[in-house]
A and B are shown apart, each in its own frame.
Chain A
Amino acid sequence: MAQLVLDRLLAQFGGGEIIKTGSQHGNEWARIRPDAWTAVCTFLRDDPTLSMEMLTDLTCVDRFGDEPRFDVVVHLYSVSKKHRVRLYGGVPEENPLIDSLVPLWPGADWPEREAYDLYGVRFAGHPDLRRLLMYPEFIGHPLRKDYPKEKRQPLVRRQAGSLD
């Protein structure tokens, strides 16, 4: 469906920015070198034959044990051209940092805060990178595969044996 997008990307970026591309169930994806994250996304948005106006979703995957550990996943859609593409940006565990897409699509604001909250991936250039879902007192990032399943961080508890 959207092989055009991958062809345009590969024609534009020949310096190894596109690590790998593929197609699965009619959906095209591309793995992007993280330092070219903003450049590739800007091209996808501004190229007249691609014109990806809409960021449908931004999320994160913890590939625990693999390197790089985290994948930031972006789903892009062109409202005018009616094609879509999925991008992966690998983020290493020791310095989980990738460019923010808020300057390109303001809709990336809360998804990036959510990814930061639950996975601990930081987004350089985000205007307000705070936790979105968990409370500020929460320590750690609960959707990481190494977060203990039983671990709770209560804010209040009753005293044992009290009537109240």
Chain B
Amino acid sequence: MGFEFVYSSKLEAAVNWARKFSLFSYPFVTACCGMEYMSTAAPKYDIARFGSEFPRFSPRQADLLIIVGTITERQGPALRRIYEQMCEPKWVIAFGVCASTGGFYQNYSTMPGADQVVPVDVYIPGCPPRPEQVLDALIMLQERIQRGEGHSQIAMRVDQGFDVPAASVRPISRITEHGEKAKVK
């Protein structure tokens, strides 16, 4: 019994296809980037086109954590707890430079990037990023989900005893992703 067969056949591709077009996001908004997030979610940029229009305000109902804004050391335990409350498989987007690296803050209170406490799948640079960049990141994440390379997807496969060669985990580099996309076109 179990879902082992899911990962061993074409069914995995079908499941991932379904996953990538039904992302339920949980916006963890802490700072000014929130304005840009609202703009992205509003009709002008229309994130609904990508099947991700439904922000849930409980992490238990969400599978995409969008970390929007500066994360302080004091928020670290809360952010970790929210991530742990989400059901697997789950993905994380770091929205803006503060969530990605700490941005221009270099001090006692600011965490140098949300990936210090939760595994981040896609980083969006910008202070704040434009909505187009956010949509671009969402498409990147969808490609990642389709390939089954999200952190939690890989962790699930490892948990189920599948061998995951390290080389199959692609680097989380925007440039690599972009170059690849350009080649496909």
B107-144 residues with Cβ-Cβ distance < 8 A to A are 107-109, 111-112, 115-119
Which A residues touch B118, using CB under 8 A? 158
B119 in contact with A164 (CB, 8 Å): yes
Which A residues touch B158, using CB under 8 A? 163
B25-78 residues with Cβ-Cβ distance < 8 A to A are 73-74, 76-77
Q: How far is the CB of B132 from chain A (nearest CB, A)?
A: 30
Q: How far is the CB of B25 from chain A (nearest CB, A)?
A: 20
Partner of A152, one of B108, B117, B152, B155: B108
**A158-B116, A158-B119, A164-B119 known; A153-B155 Cβ under 8 A:** no
Partner of B108, one of A147, A158, A163, A164: A147
Which B residues touch A162, using CB under 8 A? 119
Q: A149 at the A/B interface (Cβ < 8 Å)?
A: yes
Partner of B155, one of A149, A155, A163: A163
A102-151 residues with Cβ-Cβ distance < 8 A to B are 133-135, 142, 147, 149-151
Q: Is the interface of B mostly helix, strand, loop or mixed?
A: helix
Q: Considering the chains assembled together, what is the distance between the CA atoms of A69 and B97 in angstroms?
A: 37
* Most B CB within 10 A of own CB, among A151, A157, A164: A164
Q: B154 at the A/B interface (Cβ < 8 Å)?
A: yes
Q: Is the interface of A mostly helix, strand, loop or mixed?
A: loop
Partner of B111, one of A134, A135, A154, A163: A154
Q: B9 at the A/B interface (Cβ < 8 Å)?
A: no
Which B residues touch A155, using CB under 8 A? 73-74, 76-77
Partner of A156, one of B76, B112, B119, B154: B76
Q: Considering the chains assembled together, what is the distance between the CA atoms of A64 and B3 in angstroms?
A: 64
Q: B8 at the A/B interface (Cβ < 8 Å)?
A: no
Q: B19 at the A/B interface (Cβ < 8 Å)?
A: no
A149 in contact with B151 (CB, 8 Å): no
Could you give 11 example pairs across A and B, Cβ below 8 Å?
A134-B74, A150-B106, A152-B73, A154-B73, A154-B76, A155-B76, A156-B80, A157-B117, A158-B116, A158-B119, A164-B152
A residues with a Cβ closer than 8 A to B are: 133-135, 142, 147, 149-158, 162-164
